[in-house]
Amino acid sequence: MVKTTRIAVIPGDGIGKEVMEEALKVLAKLQEQDQSLQIATTIFPWSSDYYLQHGRMMPADALDTLRGYDAILFGAIGDARVPDDVTVWELIMPIRKQFQQYVNFRPIKSLPGIASPLANGKDIDFVIFRENAEGEYSNSGGRIYHNQPQEMTIQNTIMTRIGIEKIVQAACDYAHKYGKSKITSATKSNAIIHSMKFWDEHTKNILAQTSPALTLESIYIDALVAYFVERPQDFEVVVASNLFGDILSDLGSAIVGGLGLSPSANLNPEKEFPSMFEPVHGSAPDIAGRGVANPIAQIWSLALLLGHIGRPDTEELIVTAIETVLSEGVVKTADIGGRATTAHMGDAICQAIVKKK
Ligand code: ATP
Ligand code: MG
């Protein structure tokens, strides 16, 4: 008997709900064709609407509920009626923190039929491991001398040796698994002399100890962003602190065709807790409700989830189906220069899966 995998689904707000419908359609199609894909989904309506009704983004025992699942598929959250810090700090952050999802993983891959803003953007294929739990994004710091000329602020960066070792190790493990030979580390130790020197030192140590066969290159962040544009084909696995990784991931998404195509994973590599898979984009209130959002980022996030729970064959099937639809170039949503609806794109990917099987 194959064990049933339990997935918690949080569609969220705006286009999150619309693109999630297509991801679930794809999942249903996969299950229809493959009896061994035993997956049960539970939908949780935690969203801004939920907040407006209940005064909180999710119930008090939500994290306990989620703990019982193998993975979380998340849509997007955000609504003009709810402050941004509420949506982030009361839903996304608690999930990331509670379940020790210290890796933010993003594949940056050029796709057929998608114009890259770079002249030679064709064979870009690398991944980013962004530290997701500490670093520059801490709430340690403050302000003094309010409204006085000497008013000042301090914002602390917190980096731990174990935190650096874990993110770098996760990047090395990926490199081994997928036959990559080089790790690129984003740094700025020439100017940020405490935290970034510490980052460099422990990155180097962990590679020397556990992965001596991998080449390590450390590149200053200012140069690295330029290289992302000038020679993105050179990268294989990029590892970065929270802030640098945030910036690099959005740039990475832009050089291969934009938000509608960019998936991400918040991983707890030890699988002690559920990991969460979500598109990079937000709820896109400007296009919500019109059925025109591109569901590829959400469908690809589902693919990453399936890979994580031990079905890399199914992950590959979905990614190949996405590539097939894009290379045919018939069904395209508005963000990639077409007129297809969200549902058309979902249907086309389902059909490509059927043909492939
Ligand atoms: P939020 O506050 O939830 O982050 P936002 O509008 O700030 O929302 P995004 O939702 O990420 O940010 O959207 C940024 C831009 O990209 C918007 O113009 C949006 O329409 C477009 N966009 C985002 N996702 C998609 C998608 N899946 N398909 C098409 N366009 C998209
Ligand atoms: Mg946004």
Q: Tell me: the pLDDT tens digits for 144-162?
A: 999 999 999 999 999 999 9
Round to whole Å and give the CA distance between 328 and 113: 8
Computed over every residue of the chain, the mean pLDDT equals 96
User: 4 phi and psi, to 5 degrees?
Assistant: -80, 130
- Check if 336 has its Cβ closer than 6 Å to any atom of ligand 1: no
Residue 281 C-alpha to ligand 1 middle, in angstroms?
5
SS3 content of the chain, % helix, strand, coil (to 5): 45, 20, 35
Q: What is the pLDDT of residues 90-128, one digit of tens each?
A: 999 899 999 999 999 999 999 999 988 887 777 899 999
| DSSP secondary structure, 323-346, as one string | HHHHHH-SS-BGGGT--B-HHHHH
Beta-carbon count within 10 A of 321 CB: 25
Task: Look up residue 90 and give its DSSP letter.
Answer: I
Ligand 1 pocket mutation pick from 84, 281, 345 by most atoms within 8 angstroms of CB: 281
Q: What is the ipTM of this complex?
A: 0.93
Residue 157 C-alpha to ligand 2 middle, in angstroms?
23
- Check if 22 has its Cβ closer than 6 Å to any atom of ligand 1: no
Whether residue 142 has pLDDT greater than 70: yes
Query: Which pLDDT score, from 0 to 100, does residue 6 have?
Result: 98
Ligand 1 pocket mutation pick from 259, 322, 349 by most atoms within 8 angstroms of CB: 259
Residue 312 C-alpha to ligand 1 middle, in angstroms?
29
Token pair listed for 184? 């690129």
Long-range contacts of 49-56 (CB under 8 A, 24+ apart): 49/13, 49/79, 51/82, 51/86, 51/87, 51/90, 52/81, 52/82, 56/90
Whole-prediction pTM: 0.94
Query: Which pLDDT score, from 0 to 100, does residue 50 have?
Result: 96
Whether residue 82 has pLDDT greater than 80: yes
User: 102: Cβ–Cβ under 8 A, 6 or more apart, which residues?
Assistant: 131, 132, 133, 134, 163, 166, 167, 170, 267, 268
- Which residue owns the Cα nearest ligand 1 atom 5? 284
Query: Which pLDDT score, from 0 to 100, does residue 84 have?
Result: 86
Round to whole Å and give the CA distance between 166 and 206: 9
H helix runs in 73-136, sequence order: 84-87, 93-98
Whether residue 259 has pLDDT greater than 80: yes
Query: Which pLDDT score, from 0 to 100, does residue 357 have?
Result: 61
- Which residue owns the Cα nearest ligand 1 atom 29? 293
Secondary element (H or E) of residue 131: strand 125-131
Atom number of ligand 1 nearest to Cα 296:
27
3-state secondary structure 174-213: HHHHCCCCEEEEEECCCCCCCHHHHHHHHHHHHHHHHCCC
User: Which ligand has the nearest atom to the CA of 77?
Assistant: 1
Whether residue 3 has pLDDT greater than 70: yes
Round to whole Å and give the CA distance between 212 and 265: 27
- Check if 296 has its Cβ closer than 6 Å to any atom of ligand 1: no
Atom number of ligand 1 nearest to Cα 77:
3
Round to whole Å and give the CA distance between 206 and 225: 25
User: 130: Cβ–Cβ under 8 A, 6 or more apart, which residues?
Assistant: 103, 104, 105, 106, 167, 240, 241, 242, 244, 245, 246, 248, 249
Token pair listed for 235? 């990268």
Residue 253 C-alpha to ligand 1 middle, in angstroms?
13
- Check if 322 has its Cβ closer than 6 Å to any atom of ligand 1: no
- Check if 287 has its Cβ closer than 6 Å to any atom of ligand 1: yes
